[in-house]
Structure 1
Amino acid sequence: MDNKSHLYPQAPDAPPQYGDLGGPSMIPTELPPSAMPASVINVQQPQVYMQGVAQNHLGRMPTVATCPSCQARLLTTVKHEPSTKTHLLALLICLVGGICCCCVPYCVDSCQSAVHTCSSCGAFVGTYQN
C-alpha cells in the first residue's frame, strides 16, 4: 500500500485565506513595497447634462424662432433671395421660348429662398429653400 502513496503526489498546503494571518508569529513588522496591498481608488465621472436647443421650423413667411446669437425667441424678418432653383427656372423658360418671361421667377417670392434674420439683433437664423 505504500506504493500507491508514491503514485499520486501530495497536494501542497493551500495558501492562507484573506485576513487569516495565522497567528501572532505570522504578522510581519514591516512589509516590503512589493508586498503592500494595493489600494482601490474609486473615480466617479462628472455628470454632463446637455440642454436641447429648440429647432426652428422656418417657412416662406416670418416665423417665431430662437435666435442663435441673442437667444431671443421672437418673429423673424424675411428677405427673399434668388437661389439656384430660381436661375434654373429662368433658364428653362428662356429655352422654351419665353424670352420675355424669363424674369418672372426673380419677381415671384415662391421661386426664391426665404432668408430669416433676427428682428432684434439682425443675426442670421436660417434659410427656407422651396
Structure 2
Amino acid sequence: MASAPPLETSTFVGHPPPPSYEEALAANPQYPPMPYAPAPDMKTSVPPVPTQLYSPMYPPPPQQGQPATCPVVSVQTMYVQPGLAFESVPVQAHCPVCTQNVITRLEYTSGALAWLSCAGLAIFGCIYGCCLIPFCVDSLKDVTHHCPNCSSVLGVHKRM
C-alpha cells in the first residue's frame, strides 16, 4: 500500500517561521506608522461627509393651477440584420418596403455558372441538347430573394 506524500510547509526545513506583523514593526523602528493611520489605543471617529447640492433627476410635479407639461419623447425602431447571408435557401428577413418580418420567396435565373457549364459541355462533345442540362438545374442558377408580401427584391445570391 502506498503512503501519502509528506505535508508541505510554508517555511524551509531547519529555518524559523517568519515574524508576525507586530513583531516586524517592533523589530524595525525605522518605519514609523503612517500619519493617517489611527493609533491602536485611540478610538476612531468617522469624518463628516461633505454635503452636496441637491439636484433632482426629474422636474417637480406641477402646482395647482399650472398646466402639466410632459416632455415629448420620440422612439425610432431600427432593425439591424447582422450577418444575413442570402444563399440558395429561404431566409427570415425584414422587408424595408412593407416593414414586415418575412421568409423570402426564391426565384432562380440563369447566371454565369449555368452559361459556363453549358459551354464546357459543348466543348467536350455534348452538342445534341445535352449541353442545355445546366439550364434545368437550380443549383447552377443564381438565386434572387423576394418579399412574399410586396415582391420587392431583398437580396441576390450569385453562383459565380
Per the normalisation by structure 1, the TM-score is 0.56
What is the alpha-carbon distance in structure 1 between the residues aligned to residue 96 and residue 131 of structure 2? 37
Structure 1 segments unaligned to the other structure (5+ residues): 1-50
2:148 maps to 119
| Mapped partners of 1:64, 1:52: distance in 2 | 13
Q: Which structure has the highest helix share of the two? A: 1
Deviations 1:13-65 (A, max 9, x none): xxxxxxxxxxxxxxxxxxxxxxxxxxxxxxxxxxxxxx563143222122111
Gaps of 5+ in 2: 1-77
Q: What is the aligned-residue RMSD (CA, Å)? A: 2.1
Q: Which amino acid aligns with 1:76?
A: T
Alignment of 1:85-104 (within 5 A): 85-99=113-127, 100-104=129-133
* One of 69, 75, 95 as aligned partner of 2:103: 75
1:121, CA displacement in angstroms?
0.8
Instruction: Give the structure, 1 or 2, with the largest relative contact order (CA under 8 Å, sep 6 or more).
Output: 1
In the aligned structure 2, how far is the partner of 1:90 from the partner of 1:84?
10
Partner residue of 1:53? Answer: 80
* Equivalent residues of 1:57, 1:65 under 8 A apart: no
Whether the 8 Å CA contact 1:106–1:112 is kept in 2: the answer is yes
Counterpart of 1:40 in structure 2 is: none
Q: Residue 76 of structure 1: CA displacement?
A: 0.6
1:63 aligns with 2:91: yes
Q: Which runs of 4+ in 1 moved over 3 A?
A: none
Alpha-carbon distance between aligned partners in 1 of 2:101 and 2:137, rounded to the nearest angstrom: 29
Equivalent residue pairs, number: 82
